[in-house]
Amino acid sequence: MTVPGDIPGDDVPGTPHLLPHQRPAAVRAAAHLAAQLETYAPVACQVRPDTWWFPERGGSSEPQTAAIHLCAACPVTTACLDYALAADERFGIWGGTTPTQRTTLRKDTP
C-alpha cells in the first residue's frame, strides 16, 4: 500500500531510493523506473552482483563491461538512464552508461 510520501516501488530490489523532497524530475523518473522494474523483474542488475554495476576503484573492468552489455539488452535501459540523469547519479553503471558518459550526456543536453 502506498501512503503519502512513499515512492512507488521503493520496496522492489534494485530500485533507486529517493526522498520526496528531492528534485521532482528525479522522483518521477524513479517512480517510472520502479514501475518498469516491477513489470520486467527480475532484470540483470537485480540478480547479478552489485559489484558489476558498482565496481571497486582499481578493480577489473570485466564485470563493468559485462554489466554494460547486459544493460544493452535490458527492457528498462531507457527508464534507468532517465533516472540516472535526473537524479545526477555519479557512481556506477546506470542505463548502460558509465559516470563519465553520463557527465557528457548532461553537458550535451540543454
Binding residues for [4Fe-4S] cluster: 45, 71, 74, 80
Q: Could you tell me how far CA 31 lies from the centroid of its own chain? A: 11
Q: What is the DSSP letter of 68?
A: H
Assign residue 50 a region (left: φ > 0; alpha: ψ between -120 and 50; beta: otherwise). Answer: alpha
**Which residues are part of a known binding site?**
45, 71, 74, 80
Helix/strand/coil percent split, the chain, to 5: 50, 0, 45
What is each CA distance from 59 to 54, 55, 56, 62, in whole angstroms?
A: 11, 7, 5, 9
- Which of 35, 39, 12, 48 has the alpha carbon at shortest distance from 82? 35
